[in-house]
Amino acid sequence: MKRRTFIQGLAAFGVASTLPLPLSRTWAATAANPVSVDSLPALEGKLTLYLGRGEGGLYENVLQAIQDKNPNLELGIRRGPTAALANTIVAEAKMGVRRADLFWAVDSGAIGLVTDAGLAQPLPADLSAQLQPQFRYSGWAPVTGRIRTLPYNTERLTKEQIPDSIMAIADSDLSIGWAPAYASFQSFITAMRLLEGDDKTAKWLKKVKKKAKSYAGELGVVMAVERGEVDIGFANHYYSLRLKAGKPEAKLDLAFTQNDAGCLVNASGILALNKDPLATNFMRYLLSAEVQGYLAREAYEIPLIEGIKQPEGLPSIASISPPKIDLTQLADLRPTLDLMRNNGVL
């Protein structure tokens, strides 16, 4: 759906509800079902959002649609790299300054940095209840998910030739594409450290480095796999789905490891930095059926509320068996970066 169509689609829902705060019992009782923007309170007043860059402008489309539906909302947006904005929020708090009301991050590690500093406001129970149980956190709302995958070239490999353990990849004879400087890759290595320990992770990095080609980003990894430069790559799922959407004949498919960092489900997320109900109600729009459906269709991200269709070409999270990990633990990147530098990866 193009931006104009999406905005018109939201506008077509009519004037937002004037439900009192907290939301009515009827709405809260059905919060596990997709909620339309038509059921949400109108947004009136000033908000400042710190927005992590990402998703090729699709998040910007969502924000524009919300503003178009709520003409009395004055939304100021500060854009920047997610990690840098998280550090800015923490630094501002230490100086006794609060410039942001909301933080929408493309990576949960940045969310963890802010929540660990005690700056996030508790999430209302009815808002948390909309999320799938494994994505419920006390201080922030995951918006969409992204799963780590092994994109592979279908002319060079069959899925059966790919190990279902991320640790076994290091001992295989497969050629690999990776993007070590990319934030999602570093979160993946952080998860590996938490699950496997630093020593095993260091040995894995050393082995993979010998057979890997480096790329600037994970879209580059996926494109290299499709061209046949390497057998497999490490990348978030949506890069492959987007490439195949534009090139259905692409020599590309996805493989998944089992219950390890190789199939980590990470998430974008939003949190409120003050107790103003306006900030919380803004968050509700991001969990609406319209926004979740749009990001699933256009960004190929995984919707995290019940009842929204997943992107085409992606199995259910339950069938993939991702590891159980608190995503906010991915915040501590310094040991990961040190480990990667000490082993010549960065």
Per-residue pLDDT tens over the stretch 33-55: 788 999 999 999 999 999 987 55
Residues 227 and 330 in one domain: yes
Residues 41 and 125 in one domain: yes
Residues 214 and 290 in one domain: no
CB 222 within 8 A of CB 239: yes
The average pLDDT across 304-314 equals 87
Tokens 């400087």 identify what position? Answer: 181
Residues 219 and 291 in one domain: no
Is the per-residue pLDDT at 10 higher than 80?
no
Residues 190 and 336 in one domain: yes
Residues 109 and 224 in one domain: no
Tokens 């590996």 identify what position? Answer: 192
Give the count of domains, the chain: 2
**CATH number of the domain encompassing residue 117:** 3.40.190.10
CA pair distance 85, 67, nearest whole angstrom: 22
Q: What CA–CA distances, in Å, run from 38 to 69, 100, 314? A: 10, 27, 29
CA pair distance 191, 223, nearest whole angstrom: 25
Which tokens is 249 given? 């004949």
Q: Which residue has the higher pLDDT, 171 or 31?
A: 171
Residues 57 and 110 in one domain: yes
Residue type, 340: M
Closest Cα partner for 105 from 266, 278, 247, 318? 266
Residues 140 and 168 in one domain: no
The structure's pTM equals 0.84
The CA-based diameter of the chain, rounded to the nearest angstrom, is 61
Residues 198 and 254 in one domain: yes
Residues 46 and 109 in one domain: yes
CA pair distance 185, 261, nearest whole angstrom: 10
* 65-69, 151-155, 260-264, 319-323: least confidently modelled range: 319-323
pLDDT computed for residue 55 by the predictor:
55
pLDDT digits (tens, 9 = 90+) for 212-221: 999 999 999 9
Residues 213 and 336 in one domain: yes
Range(s) of the domain holding residue 119: 3-145+265-319
* 30-44, 68-82, 180-194: least confidently modelled range: 30-44
pLDDT digits (tens, 9 = 90+) for 185-200: 999 999 999 999 999 9
pLDDT computed for residue 321 by the predictor:
86
Which residues face 103 on adjacent strands?
50, 271
How does residue 306 score in pLDDT terms, banded at 50, 70 and 90?
Answer: confident
Residues 75 and 215 in one domain: no
Is the per-residue pLDDT at 21 higher than 60?
no
Burial 143-158 (b: 16+ CB within 10 A, else e): bbbbbbbbbbbeeebe
